[in-house]
Structure 1
Amino acid sequence: METEALCSSYTSQTVVKKSGIAKVNHGNRLETYIPSGKAVAGPPLGPQLGQKNINIAAFCKEFNERTKEYKDGIPLPCRVTVNTDRTFDLTINQPPVTYFLKQAAGIQRAAMKPTHQVAGKITLKHVYEIAKIKQQDPTQSFLSLETICKQIIGIASTCGIQVVTNLNAQEYGEFLEQRKLIVEEELKDLQAKKEARMLRTA
């Protein structure tokens, strides 16, 4: 895995500020996740913006333009502060830690039973690289890298992702193949249970 290439491609932080601000209503804020390059007027985003009296078309155009350097569909935590003249301040943070963890581990799903399963593995170097990216977020900028690393290791544990010193590429590739079969069986089981519930309620 090319750790630095994987993580460094998401290092830019985007902050958009509209001009002509009169007074800021600090209580009129929206915090949500928006997939990069995918802001559209439909639900769920459109109604959220409409409730805040934000120009939806202008917002979507601005967001998509500002996130065009990202791969489409990456979940980005956003904070929007709406001003009294309908302009807005938009802060776009780095993707959530879980996104980076799954990317680094080469998996799409976390463990269904994280205390009993290992969904994937990452190295301490992965943790450090992710921490450097997350430290750019305003809410994390005052924390030390050591503190952020500890947070990331804790989140990894809740996902069933094991943090190790080193990884053997061949052995880990074999592990992922085995894990893929397990996930497929889990998904089949979930689908069967869902269909059974639908039959009972029909």
Structure 2
Amino acid sequence: MSKSVARLKSMKKVADKIDHSSKLRTNIPAGMAAAGPPLGPMLGQRNINIAAFCKDFNERTANIKPGIPLPTRVKVNSDRSYQLVIHQPPASYFLMQAAGVNRGSMYPVKEICGKITLKHLYEIAKIKSQDPTLEWKSLQEICNMLLATARTCGIQVVRQLDAKEYGEFLEERKNIVEEQKKMLQERREAKMLRTA
């Protein structure tokens, strides 16, 4: 009997050491962490002091342009303290900024929403290589990853880009985006009529 009790106690000690907390993985706009949804409830579920977290995050991102989405990883310790890791903005954000577009393509394989040069791609890869998840990858691997992301956004990577031609392309693209927005709005309205 005493051996089994001792074994159970030792197993309990091992079980107490196991960390069951999950990491919080979310995108938070730079300098704009607020206690309201969706961030507040996520922090509350993990017993993190919401006001202190928001203040800490906003101070750490004060030197970044407000509103830029930052992938954030939060590991909660058993004493309610946390470890905060802030990554570089998502690759899609950088690619769309370089292409000068606000949104990706609705049909990425069939439709091009913007263009960037190989130089843009390389510069973005250098910035993304600072991310903790990518620090062990070579620049070539990161460039390949960015090429795939650009393809899914509908952004074409070219060797050279003429500014005048690209300006005309973006003007034409604005009209296409407006038509797509109207079409989506009509679909939403038709769906609401069906469900009413």
What is the alpha-carbon distance in structure 2 between the residues aligned to residue 169 and residue 155 of structure 1?
23
Q: What letter is aligned with 2:51? A: A
Say whether 1:184 aligns with 2:178: yes
Structure number with higher helix proportion: 2
- Counterpart of 1:44 in structure 2 is 38
Any unmatched runs of 5+ in structure 1? 1-22
- Counterpart of 1:99 in structure 2 is 93
- Counterpart of 2:6 in structure 1 is none
Which structure has more relative contact order (CA 8 Å, sep 6+)? It is: 1
Tell which deviates more after alignment, 158-167 or 64-73. Answer: 64-73
Deviations 1:103-148 (A, max 9, x none): 0000001110011101000000010000001100011000000010
Alignment match of 1:150 (pick from 139, 144, 155): 144
Contact preservation (8 Å) 1:122, 1:161: yes
Say whether 1:135 aligns with 2:129: yes
- Counterpart of 1:110 in structure 2 is 104
Q: How does 1:34-113 map to 2 (within 5 A)?
A: 34-113=28-107
Q: What letter is aligned with 1:118? A: I
Deviations 1:154-192 (A, max 9, x none): 110111100000100000000000001100110011001
Q: What letter is aligned with 1:55? A: N
Question: For the structure 1 residues 167 and 24, does the alpha-carbon distance in structure 2 shift closer, same or farther, using more than 3 Å as the test?
Answer: farther
Tell which deviates more after alignment, 165-174 or 23-32. Answer: 23-32
Q: What letter is aligned with 2:119? A: K
- Counterpart of 1:164 in structure 2 is 158
TM-fit CA distance, 1:84: 1.5
Q: What letter is aligned with 1:74? A: I
Structure number with higher strand proportion: 1
SS in 2 for 1:79: strand
Contact preservation (8 Å) 1:104, 1:122: yes
Contact preservation (8 Å) 1:36, 1:72: yes
Q: Rg larger in 1 or in 2?
A: 2
Off by >3 Å, runs of 4+ in structure 1: 23-28
What is the alpha-carbon distance in structure 1 between the residues aligned to residue 28 and residue 151 of structure 2?
25
Task: Provide TM-score, normalisation by structure 2.
Answer: 0.89
TM-fit CA distance, 1:90: 0.1
Task: Provide TM-score, normalisation by structure 1.
Answer: 0.86
